[in-house]
Amino acid sequence: EIVLTQSPGTLSLSPGERATLSCRASQSVSSSYLAWYQQKVGQAPRLLIYGASSRATGIPDRFSGSGSGTDFTLTISRLEPEDFAVYYCQQYGRSQYTFGQGTKLEIK
């Protein structure tokens, strides 16, 4: 089973700053199978990025994804107030989906 480890656990930044969130896999992951989600309190997750770097429909271009192999990154170029939330990476392999433990992005 592939384990996804996200870092940092909590990231404290101010609006307008750049956020860099990491997702590291215990084994190599196909870029096609790596996605990122945003979840706000009391809401369902929302797909942000799929295929490691493709933005989902309606996602602003300040969100970008990159990486390959075992190291993937979600970058938010200039934080807006509505971006403060929890972010999860997710991968698929051998008929199993797995999520990272999440990174909480909080207002500094």
Partner 1 sequence: EVQLVESGGGLVQPGGSLRLSCAASGFTVSSNYMSWVRQAPGEGLEWVSVIYSGGSTYYTDSVKGRFTISRDNSKNTLYLQMNSLRADDTAVYYCARDRSNYWYFDLWGRGTLVTVSS
Q: Scanning residues 34 to 63, which ones bind partner 1 (CB under 8 A)? A: 35, 37, 39, 43-47, 50, 56
What's the chain's length in residues? Answer: 108
Q: How far is CA 95 from CA 2, 91, 92, 98, in A?
A: 12, 11, 7, 10
Pattern 89-108, partner 1, x by CB under 8 A = -x-x--xxxxxxxx------
Supply the minimum distance, in Å, between the C-beta of residue 55 and partner 1.
Answer: 12
Contacts of residue 29, Cβ cutoff 8 Å, sequence gap at least 6:
2, 69, 70, 72, 91, 93
Q: Which residues bind partner 1 (CB under 8 A)?
A: 32-33, 35, 37, 39, 43-47, 50, 56, 86, 88, 90, 92, 95-102
